Chain A
Amino acid sequence: MATQPGAAAGVSDEAPISLYAQRPPRLRGTAGTVASTVSTIVLVGAIVVLFLLPSSAGFRHEFFSPHYLWESFRLHPSDYLYSVSKAFLYTVLLSVICEPIVLVLALAVATLRMTTGPVLKPFRGLCIAYTDFARGVPLILIMLWVGFGIPELNAGWISSQSVFVYGGMVLVFTYTAYVSEVVRAGIYSVPRSQASAARSLGLSSRDTLARVVVPQAVRNVLPALLNDFVSLQKDTAIVSVLGAVELTHAAQADASYWFNSAPYAIAAGFYLLLTVPLTRYTDRLLAKDRDRRLAGSA
């Protein structure tokens, strides 16, 4: 897969492909292994030494005290405090419910915005106003408006939903705007000729969109989409302003009771557990996509 510089030069000296080609490393074989081992030891060693210095004892206790790490992690912490593990479920559930809803709504907003019919003109305007607003106003403000505003309306059923519902609504509201823009960019990235060809084969405009344009569009922007989902998973923390005991807030409650910040490390670990697999997956898709394109252009 890695193109040899010689082979690339054989095609053309200024081939765009040279952007991705790598210069052969100066140290190769055993010398290379030794060099990378030494640099790893120096870097990791410096961090470990800094961490283990006697003067860092206060720091270690404040942020990584084993006692409090365990207390906040276990399902039933002493002193009736909050289990960060339990709060993790809240965060996972919120993300997992919001993400498919965001995807469907974003697709709807993006396609609505790209219609051309005169009847839909006011809806297009509405879509533009919505994306401008939802992307332009900080999530936390919308969260406070919805979370405290809707219950204040005294509108019966609508005003008596749980924080989970209001928080989810706000996340969906904001992230649909982001994702719809990503989807729109994806649709624009599909050459017009694709749609023309589909129409000339006799596909309806709906089928053209659903079977030809959107699949290609989504594939083109999949890494960007997943990026937004990683971001959404972390932004579930903002539901805490409404009083929800999600991951960040559970850690915060424990930390402020114990005067010790170790629970934050547990919370961070859980976020990584949630986001790293998704980012790794995104990286893999990106690499696959790059290879595919390179293969095409070579």
Chain B
Amino acid sequence: MLRPKIALAAAVSAAALVLATGASSGAVSHHRRASTYPTLASCKTTVQSQVKSKGSLTVATDDPVYTPWFVNNDPSNGKGYESAVAYGIASKLGFAKKDVKWVTEPFDSSYEPGPKAFDFDINEISYTAERAQAVTFSISYYGVTQSIVALKGSKIVTKHTPAELKTYLYGDQIGTTGLTYIESQIKPTKTPRIYNSLDLAVQALQSKQIDAIVVDTPDGQYMASSEVKNGVQVGQFPSTGEYYGLLFQKGDPLAACVDSAIQSMTTSGELTSISKKYLGIYNSIPTIKP
């Protein structure tokens, strides 16, 4: 009986492989290579031959840009989460503040295939497998979480244990990660309502047709504070792995050193302190379990 033995061996080695990759890849580096990063010291010399324009780091983002990611529509002032992250990476790779050049790249064209005029693009771009076919992504510099928006005084505001969360009627826009989150993590007993726009979902929430909407935390914060009358952000869920990554031309070797810089900023706590400074409002939203 050779076959069961082969199957067993295959299963064991597969399990070992899973364990090995699971152990070596940190919480932030899902979907991506679990290799070791090049040392920052070696990077300082290698990146000089990898950047598009010698001696400077060309960083792209959209125009206009918004708080909390940038401040006063000026990426070059070092304020705002993404601006601070970009300058943090630049300094790790040995670029002075004045050597960072900003260019404009509209969001919609950013993940199209082809040569890029920038070293990397930083513009709240979520990693997806489809996009990764056309471009290269860095490891996570911001983990996107989903959150619950409801009306003040409704039951879900106080009662949201995992079991209780299943009993509510949710609504969401078609095709969003929020809707996927409801179906895959909360798994409610009532089929959620699907709307063709987020506005209709908000209207349904406002007239109490649905109990809650699930949207990503920054959007939810905006909705609860300015869009929904009497709205409240009940809490945010732990990350499911959705994250913002820096975007590179497909196969750009520079990505390895940038990953190394992000990794170093993560372990040193620098990323956390930037996050506290600019995204504190989101961090203060309580985390609840689906």
Would you give the shortest CB distance from A173 to chain B, in whole angstroms? 19
Contact in complex: B194, A243 (CB < 8 Å): yes
A185 interface residue per 8 A CB criterion: no
A278 interface residue per 8 A CB criterion: no
Contact in complex: A151, B208 (CB < 8 Å): yes
| CA distance in complex: A81, B130 (Å) | 18
List B residues at the A interface (Cβ < 8 Å).
130, 171, 174-175, 179-180, 183-184, 187, 191-196, 200-201, 203-204, 206-210
Q: Could you say which residues of chain A place their CB within 8 Å of the CB of B175?
A: 253, 256-257
Binary CB contact string for chain A from 152 to 165 against chain B (1 if under 8 A, 0 otherwise): 10100001100100
Most buried by A among B201, B208, B209: B209
Most buried by B among A81, A159, A243, A257: A243
Chain A, residue nearest B208 (CB): A151
Would you give the shortest CB distance from A249 to chain B, in whole angstroms? 6
Contact in complex: A243, B193 (CB < 8 Å): yes
Of the candidates B171, B174, B183, B210, the one whose C-beta lies within 8 Å of that of A256 is B174
Contact in complex: B184, A80 (CB < 8 Å): yes
| CA distance in complex: A159, B209 (Å) | 9
Instruction: Given A241-B200, A243-B171, A253-B175, answer yes or no on A80-B194 (Cβ-Cβ < 8 Å).
Output: no
Q: Could you say which residues of chain A place their CB within 8 Å of the CB of B187?
A: 80
Contact in complex: A244, B174 (CB < 8 Å): no
| CA distance in complex: A160, B194 (Å) | 18
| CA distance in complex: A148, B209 (Å) | 8
Q: Could you say which residues of chain A place their CB within 8 Å of the CB of B191?
A: 245
| CA distance in complex: A81, B184 (Å) | 9
Contact in complex: A80, B193 (CB < 8 Å): no
Chain A, residue nearest B193 (CB): A243
Chain A, residue nearest B187 (CB): A80
Of the candidates A160, A163, A257, the one whose C-beta lies within 8 Å of that of B180 is A257
Q: Could you say which residues of chain B place their CB within 8 Å of the CB of A244?
A: 193
Contact in complex: A80, B171 (CB < 8 Å): no
Q: Could you say which residues of chain B place their CB within 8 Å of the CB of A209?
A: none
A252 interface residue per 8 A CB criterion: yes
Would you give the shortest CB distance from B200 to chain A, in whole angstroms? 7
